[in-house]
């Protein structure tokens, strides 16, 4: 990875964790690791969608395959 790519990765992850921390502060029942895994695996899924699904207690579905 180039230094620019490393910086972008660092910034992306900082933003991701900051938003996940904010979410978990509002929803103590949420598992931050699961939230972040969902985010990373689903590649850019808006956090609001994750939040919406968690609040409704639904299993998240992959955008690409439709499989759980």
Q: Which is nearer to another protein, 17 or 53 (CB)?
A: 17
Contact 53, 46 (CB under 8 A): no
Cβ 45 to another protein, closest distance in Å?
15
Contact 33, 24 (CB under 8 A): no
* Residues between 2 and 61 with contacts to another protein, criterion CB under 8 A: 5-6, 9-10, 13-14, 17-18, 21, 31, 34, 37, 41
CA distances for 3 relative to 11, 15, 44, 47, angstroms: 12, 18, 22, 27
Cβ 22 to another protein, closest distance in Å?
11
Give the residue from 13, 4, 1, 25 showing the smallest Cα distance to 51: 25
Residues that bind another protein (CB under 8 A): 1, 5-6, 9-10, 13-14, 17-18, 21, 31, 34, 37, 41
């Amino acid at each position: 990875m180039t230094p620019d790519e490393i910086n972008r990765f660092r910034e992306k992850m900082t933003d991701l964790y900051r938003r996940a921390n904010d979410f978990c502060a509002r929803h103590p029942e949420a598992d931050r690791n699961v939230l972040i895994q969902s985010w990373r695996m689903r590649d850019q899924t808006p956090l609001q969608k994750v939040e919406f699904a968690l609040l409704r207690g639904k299993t998240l579905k992959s955008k690409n395959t439709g499989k759980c």
